[in-house]
């Protein structure tokens, strides 16, 4: 009888241990199923503000119209007479951009151009009309690069028309293409006229639109190089000088002059502002300057450029490692900082409202790496950088899990 009692007692313990084991399995399964739903921690994000200095007055001309732009911001400010005005030779910036899109090249040659009798006659016609020309004769051979030099440095009306016809087949076909191109650029008040040179006052635009155009020119490596050249030597024409007289200033990247009686002086200027190791490009445009040449417009655009520079300063608006929020564990006093993984820096235009939008995912324990992003917007400029954590969130204790089930 004693033996049976001991066996029964041991069997009782066995059933008890089995019951505890099964209960443990059920509890463990329940806890980890609960974990997937309850251990996600929402981010606590800070409200970030970016301070900019008050805008300083710009040195607008006392006539015509003018604008300031950068590639990053687009057109920042415009002033003066509203409505399109004749562009004069600034229209050649449209011509060369259209040619580069129709007949692209990346070296210092491009296609071979052989001038025809019609090209020689165009030269004689513009010469008789006192237009800007570079001489060409029947059978003269240039590279495409040299032809663009004649257009941008020598402001050759005849070569502008000849190259537009070469690239598109006719001036009408060029006009249709160029009109669509400027519309695609957002130049809503620009009309392409009867020629490709700007000699005719039928090509009209605004300072705002020409400033947008200049940002596109700077994106074309070949054109960017040519507008910064002070002179070139062309077969049959000899040495031609750039009509831009501001290139002695090493900040000035160049761009395009213009003058006809109906337009007055026109100048599109691009310069590079440098602050320490950082630099960016500033564009100014002046239209409708008085006088019989473009020098007045050049000086006004340069003065406007200098005043525009004083409204820019380089700022690191978000620094690498800057904390923008945190995850706070519900099961402990642990806080995991959310930080910017990269810096965001740019030239800030004084007075432009700055916005920062932060987005971060919910966080599970033992996760590291990127968790979201910070989007910075300054006017038309924007940039996004990743957010991350440098340490994982610790797992909650077993007892905390049990307590959450009760």
41 in helix, strand or coil? strand
List of E strands, 26-139: 43-45, 65-70, 74-80, 85-86, 112-114
Q: Helices 157-168 & 117-128, crossing angle to 10 degrees?
A: 150
pLDDT tens across 242-289, in order? 999 999 999 999 999 999 999 999 999 999 999 889 999 999 999 999
User: Residues of CATH 2.60.410.10 domain(s) within the chain?
Assistant: 42-58+312-406
Q: What is the mean pLDDT of each run of 10 residues along the chain (406 residues)?
A: 50 56 54 54 80 86 96 92 93 98 93 97 96 97 98 98 98 98 97 98 98 97 97 96 94 96 97 93 97 90 97 88 85 83 88 81 80 83 87 73 62
Alpha-carbon gap, residue 228 to 271, rounded angstroms? 10
Element housing 180 (H / E): helix 171-184
Catalogue the E-assigned strands of 201-277.
204-205, 231-234, 238-241, 252-260, 264-275
What CATH architecture does domain 65-310 belong to?
3-Layer(aba) Sandwich (3.40)
* CATH number assigned to the domain covering 42-58+312-406: 2.60.410.10
Query: DSSP labels for 132-177?
Result: ------TT-EEEHHHHHHHHHTS--HHHHHHHHHHHHSSHHHHHHH
Report the distance separating Cα 29 and Cα 42, nearest Å. Answer: 24
Residue 101 structure tokens = 């899109």
Both tokens of residue 227? Answer: 């507008």
Give the tokens for residue 65. Answer: 């119209």
**Is the Cβ–Cβ distance between 88 and 128 less than 8 Å?**
no
Helix-, strand-, coil-residue percentages of the chain, each rounded to 5: 35, 30, 35
- pLDDT in the model for residue 404: 64
Which DSSP helix (H) or strand (E) runs through 359?
Answer: strand 354-360
Length of the chain in terms of residues written: 406
Block residue for tokens 């899109």: 101
Q: At what angle do helices 398-405 and 2-38 cross, to 10 degrees?
A: 90
- Where does CATH 3.40.710.10 sit in the chain? 65-310
The span from the CA of 4 to the CA of 363, in Å, is 58
- Alpha helical stretches, state H, 286-387: 295-309
Whole-model pTM? Answer: 0.82
What is the per-residue pLDDT for 257?
96
DSSP 8-state code for residue 363:
B
The reported pLDDT for the residue numbered 402 is: 62
Question: What one-character-per-residue DSSP string does 308-322 give?
Answer: HHTTEEEEEEE-TT-
Yes or no: say if 241 and 153 are a contact pair by the CB < 8 Å rule.
Answer: yes
């Amino acid at each position: 009888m004693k033996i049976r009692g001991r066996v029964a007692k041991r069997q009782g313990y066995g059933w008890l241990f089995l019951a505890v084991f099964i209960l443990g399995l059920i509890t463990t399964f329940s806890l980890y199923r609960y974990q997937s739903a309850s251990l996600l921690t929402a981010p606590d994000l800070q409200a970030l503000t970016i301070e900019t200095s008050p805008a300083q007055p710009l040195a607008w001309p006392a006539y015509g119209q003018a604008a300031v732009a950068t590639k990053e911001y687009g057109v920042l400010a415009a002033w003066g007479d509203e409505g399109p005005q004749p562009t004069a030779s600034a229209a050649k910036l449209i011509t060369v951009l259209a040619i580069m899109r129709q007949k692209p090249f990346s070296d210092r040659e491009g296609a071979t151009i052989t001038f025809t009798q019609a090209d020689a006659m165009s030269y004689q016609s513009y010469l008789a009309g006192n237009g800007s020309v570079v001489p060409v004769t029947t059978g003269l051979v240039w590279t495409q690069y040299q032809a663009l030099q004649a257009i941008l440095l020598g402001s050759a009306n005849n070569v502008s028309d000849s190259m537009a016809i070469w690239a598109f087949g006719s001036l009408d076909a060029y006009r249709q293409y160029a009109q669509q191109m400027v519309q695609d650029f957002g130049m809503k008040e620009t009309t392409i006229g009867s020629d490709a040179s700007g000699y005719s006052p039928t090509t009209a635009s605004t300072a705002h639109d020409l400033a947008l155009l200049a940002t596109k020119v700077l994106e074309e490596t070949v054109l960017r190089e040519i507008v910064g050249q002070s002179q070139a030597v062309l077969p049959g024409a000899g040495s031609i000088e750039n009509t831009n007289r501001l290139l002695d200033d090493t900040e000035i990247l160049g761009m395009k002059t213009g003058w006809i009686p109906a337009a007055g002086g026109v100048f599109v200027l691009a310069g590079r502002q440098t602050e320490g190791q950082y630099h960016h490009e500033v564009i100014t445009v002046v239209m409708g300057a008085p006088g019989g040449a473009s020098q007045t417009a050049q000086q006004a655009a340069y003065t406007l450029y200098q005043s525009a520079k004083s409204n820019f300063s380089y700022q690191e608006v978000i620094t690498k490692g800057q904390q923008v929020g945190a995850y706070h564990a519900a099961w402990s006093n642990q806080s995991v900082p959310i930080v910017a993984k990269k810096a965001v820096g740019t030239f800030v235009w004084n007075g432009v409202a700055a916005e920062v939008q932060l987005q971060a995912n919910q966080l599970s324990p033992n996760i590291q790496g990127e968790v979201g992003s910070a989007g910075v917007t300054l006017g038309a400029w924007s940039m996004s950088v990743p957010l991350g954590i440098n340490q994982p969130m610790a797992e909650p204790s077993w007892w905390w899990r049990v307590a959450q089930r009760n």
